[in-house]
Amino acid sequence: MNETWTRSDRDGGGRALLIAASLIIVIAGVKAAKTLILPFLLAMFFAMVTLPLLNWMRAKNVPTPLAVLATLVVALSIVVGLGVMIGGSVSSISDEIPKYRERLEEISGDAVTQLETWGLPVSRELFTDLVQPDRAWAFAQSGLKGIATALSNMFLVLLMIVFVLFEAAGIPAKLQKAFGHQRNTERYEKIKAEVQKYLAAKTVISLTTGVLVGIGLAIVGVDFWFLWASLAVVLNYIPTLGSIIAGVPPILLAMVQFGPVQALTVAIIFISVNVVLGNVVEPYLVGRKVGLSTLVVFLSLVFWGWVWGPVGMLLSVPLTMIVKIMLENTEDLRWIAILLGPAPAAEKTKPKTPKKVQA
């Protein structure tokens, strides 16, 4: 009895070690092959976003090659246009760093003086070192360089997008021929419809967020408002945490430019836009069941950011959301999708009415 128990324990421990070692090898391989995997994932993401436009043109009897070409031209025009405008803002920020440094030193000096009047002695040198704009800008530049490196393989990404868009039209027929029944085709169509619905709604909400935030920042007069609005569009694909990250730079810049009142105004703009769009509009468009646990979002950001850098952080949540939708439509794996999602809302139960006792 004891020998059998020991052997089963040993087999279970060996299996666990084998699984852990396999995971480590897979993660190391994925990290080492990021120069090949990232362009493919970017192509898949852009193809998913642009697929509704392709389907619309094909429904209008536009030939598939011409529809794919038109879709690529539209997507590339948007990406290049945004890249040119954002690149100009980034170069302008570098020129303005000395001015922001002087203003920040002035603000930090006033803050230290105020703290000293309250009887809280603070080292001026330490306080100044903590609020250096150069460090924040160097961190931002490292993130931008990571994204630029991934986009430098634009030709490879575009080539992959072409193949993905061409293949997307023929997948249902391939499934039908391979498996011989309609169930797999219907499952694929359902998954594709839900993924497209989610990405289309998320794209519309992200663009609306960028427009509203950009208008608000332009009214307040925050420098480089177009850059911060574009950042809000991109980071809005990351639920909860993305909006917080996107709001930090313009709030700090408003503090340096004007003062606490304008910084508070910018914070209110970000909070109000994200509360209305995130809690009212988005659930209406995509449904409340489509969501991720905040812990899953955070772990996805940390893990894929460590594996693939800034681009991994941007793609982690949308790709996790797509995987969750696929799992929801697979009967045997639906429980994983439930664990990835937010906590289910408590159902209200009606109080039971006592039965009347007949005399």
* pLDDT per residue as tens digits for the range 191-214: 777 777 777 888 888 899 999 999
6, pLDDT greater than 70: no
**pLDDT, tens digit, 9 for 90 and up, residues 43-52:** 887 887 788 8
Q: What are phi and psi of 91, to 5 degrees?
A: -65, -35
pLDDT for res 149:
58
Domain residues of the chain, as ranges? 34-101+152-180, 193-341
Q: What is the average per-residue pLDDT within 162-183?
A: 70
Q: Are 222 and 253 in contact (CB under 8 A)?
A: yes
Banded model confidence at residue 146, pLDDT cuts 50, 70, 90 = low
332, pLDDT greater than 60: yes
How far apart (Å, rounded) are the C-alpha atoms in residues 175 and 155? 30
Q: Are 79 and 152 in contact (CB under 8 A)?
A: no
pLDDT for res 314:
75
Q: Picking from 11-15, 117-121, 198-202, 243-247, which range would have the lowest pLDDT averaged per residue?
A: 11-15
pLDDT for res 213:
94
According to DSSP, residue 349 is labeled P
Q: What is the average per-residue pLDDT within 226-249?
A: 83
How far apart (Å, rounded) are the C-alpha atoms in residues 87 and 81? 10
pLDDT for res 208:
92
Q: Give the residue from 44, 244, 246 showing the smallest Cα distance to 162.
A: 44
265, pLDDT greater than 90: yes
Banded model confidence at residue 219, pLDDT cuts 50, 70, 90 = very high
Banded model confidence at residue 243, pLDDT cuts 50, 70, 90 = confident
pLDDT for res 349:
47
How far apart (Å, rounded) are the C-alpha atoms in residues 255 and 247? 12
User: What's the mean pLDDT when you consider all of the chain?
Assistant: 76
pLDDT for res 8:
58
Q: What is the average per-residue pLDDT within 282-288?
A: 69
Query: pTM above the 0.75 mark?
Result: no
